[in-house]
Structures are given as structure tokens and as C-alpha cells.
């Protein structure tokens, strides 16, 4: 299992041809209290950069973009009743979707944990 990160503060945990996608602790902290997450329906085919989900804090709605191209296999239905999970455990139980990756080469350009940490330190 490898975990990669995007400049949009998403994490992608890859195992075989499946990616679990969520937002990073940094993103969750910046958003503040999450009160609603709109997730895609299963089977949706998303290109890298497409709007994948919307996360709403008290203040505002923010788009979450597909970090890689793929097909949505499962959305985290736990977030419907407990959106605060995104703040409590953003890189664990607060995952958004599981995707079937259609272009694994896209992962190569993404940051590893150390690179992402350095990226955030510069912000």
C-alpha cells in the first residue's frame, strides 16, 4: 500500500487497482468544522481534476477534485450521518471514496508523505 498526496490536499491510498481518496489533516484543519459532505454515486466515471465531492463547513462549500481518473466503487456513507468524522480522522475513517484506477501512471507525478509535508511547510 502506498499513500500519495496532491497539491489540492487530497490523499490517495493505493492497493492494487483500487485507490481510497480523502482530504488531508491540513485540509480538514483549514476547512474547520465539516457539516456536510456530498459524495458521488457509485459507478461514476471521473477524469483526473473533475469535481468528485463537495465538503461543506459552517462557512462555505469547497470542491474536492478527483486526484486520479477512475470509477467510483464505493462512497463512505458513514459521512452522511457523521460529517464531523472528516475533522476527527481525516486520513482514516474520514475517507471519501474508493475508486478503481484507470490510469495508474497519474500516481507517479504525485507527492509522497515527505514531499507533501515539505509542501505544506512552505504554505
| 8 A C-beta contact, residue 120 and residue 25 | no
- Binding window for another protein (CB under 8 A); candidates: 19-27, 32-40, 88-96, 97-105: 32-40
Give me the least distance between CB of 54 and another protein, in Å please.
7
Quick check: 35 binds another protein (CB under 8 A)? yes
Quick check: 56 binds another protein (CB under 8 A)? yes
Q: Which of 6, 24, 46, 57 binds another protein (CB under 8 A)?
A: 57
Q: Which of 54, 71, 107, 120 binds another protein (CB under 8 A)?
A: 54
Site size toward another protein (CB under 8 A) is 14
Q: Which of 61, 113, 115, 118 binds another protein (CB under 8 A)?
A: 61
Quick check: 92 binds another protein (CB under 8 A)? no
Quick check: 78 binds another protein (CB under 8 A)? no
CA pair distance 56, 87, nearest whole angstrom: 12
Q: Which is nearer to another protein, 12 or 23 (CB)?
A: 23
DSSP character string of 63-106: EEE-SS-EEEEEE-THHHH-TTHHHHSTTTTT--EEEEES-GGG
Q: Residues 22-55, buried b or exposed e (16+ Cβ, 10 A)?
A: bbbbbbbeebeebeebbbbeeebebebeeebbeb
Residue 41: helix, strand or coil by DSSP? coil
Amino acid at each position: 500500500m502506498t499513500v500519495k498526496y496532491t497539491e489540492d490536499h487530497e490523499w490517495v491510498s493505493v492497493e492494487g487497482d483500487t485507490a481510497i481518496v480523502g482530504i488531508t489533516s491540513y485540509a480538514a484543519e483549514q476547512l474547520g468544522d465539516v457539516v456536510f459532505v456530498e459524495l458521488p454515486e457509485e459507478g461514476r466515471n471521473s477524469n483526473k481534476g473533475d469535481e468528485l465531492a463537495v465538503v461543506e463547513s459552517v462557512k462555505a462549500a469547497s470542491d474536492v477534485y478527483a486526484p486520479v481518473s477512475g470509477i467510483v466503487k464505493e462512497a463512505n456513507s458513514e459521512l452522511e450521518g457523521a460529517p464531523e468524522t472528516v475533522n476527527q480522522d481525516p486520513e482514516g475513517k474520514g475517507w471519501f471514496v474508493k475508486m478503481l484506477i484507470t490510469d495508474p501512471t497519474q500516481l507517479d507525478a504525485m507527492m509522497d508523505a515527505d514531499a507533501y509535508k515539505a509542501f505544506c511547510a512552505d504554505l
